[in-house]
Structure 1
């Protein structure tokens, strides 16, 4: 019955600050705003998926995590894309390495960053290879070398 995830909502401390981030920094398409201090954004094009940001008191904000799907080609340029927008990037281990890592059990390549409220955001792309769960989490460079693409 479930065919995908259509929308998710997060709480933010300052609706305008977060709107600037999601619209101008990440480039999401504005969909709707209502008087309850909520703004909705299309993800992946109109009617594909939606993100809602709700302004709440700081005590009501629980830091959450969600990932944006992107292409492998986009992943190749995602780190400079994010850094050019003033964002700090991190890998899954948060060990200071700013290079994308591969979750070998999927396999998928990803990189993390945060929004103004500290929500953990991720860009992720599925890879065309067979899963190798025994490898754990490895650098994308190591994964590509293993598959003869580096």
Structure 2
């Protein structure tokens, strides 16, 4: 029945500034009123509603004021430099790890975090294939560590077939 996420919403303090930021990320204007705008994430599939108002003062919590955008794994390799090129600043996840993309093998995704001008937490995320023997890794690995680990598993599997 459910095919995907259609919409999500975030509070903003300045609609014009927010529109410029999200358009710079590649979202496109779908609909607008005086204090609200909807931007297509994927045209006719999903959009983001931005609402100008005092709700922007709501403190951040992972269950509030957070959006993750899906990207391809290959794009994740350049996500930090792309974010910097458009004026967004990658930031470390809550535990203070590097601001570089990282992998959560136990959840099967890679991600990098950044904020919008109002401090809403944004994330670029890609699904990854996790070999069975790596699914129990519960720590976060930098993308380069993950790639090295995958190369090691691939080599071990090739050697076992000989």
Inter-partner Cα distance in structure 1 for 2:120 and 2:88:
13
SS of structure 2 residue aligned to 1:134: coil
- How many residues are aligned here? 146
String of CA shifts for 1:38-80, please: whole Å, max 9, x gaps.
1101112x11111000110266544311100000121111111
Structure with greater Cα Rg: 2
- Looking at structure 1, the residues matched to 21 and 46 of structure 2 have their Cα atoms a distance apart, in angstroms, of 18
Secondary structure in structure 1 of the residue aligned to 2:100: coil
The residue aligned with 1:132 is: 135
Contact 2:56 2:118 in 1 (8 A): no
1:4 aligns with 2:4: yes
Given the alignment of the two structures, is residue 98 of structure 1 paired with residue 134 of structure 2, yes or no?
Answer: no
User: TM-score scaled to structure 1, two decimals?
Assistant: 0.87
CA distance in 1, matches of 2:6, 2:39: 12
After the TM superposition, which residues 26-105 of structure 1 pair with which residues of structure 2 at under 5 Å, given as runs? 26-35=25-34, 37-44=35-42, 46-57=43-54, 60-63=57-60, 64-93=65-94, 95=96, 97-105=98-106
Which is further off, 113-122 or 137-146?
137-146
Q: Distance in 1 between matches of 2:86 and 2:97?
A: 19
- Runs (5+) with no aligned partner, structure 1: none
| Greater Cα shift, 140-149 or 57-66 | 57-66
Q: C-alpha distance in 1, partners of 2:51/2:72?
A: 28
Measured on the aligned residues, the alpha-carbon RMSD in Å equals: 1.9
Equivalent positions of 1:106-121 (< 5 A) are 106-121=107-122
Contact 2:90/2:113, CA 8 A, preserved across alignment: yes
**Residue pair 1:92, 1:101 contacting (<8 A) in 2 also:** no
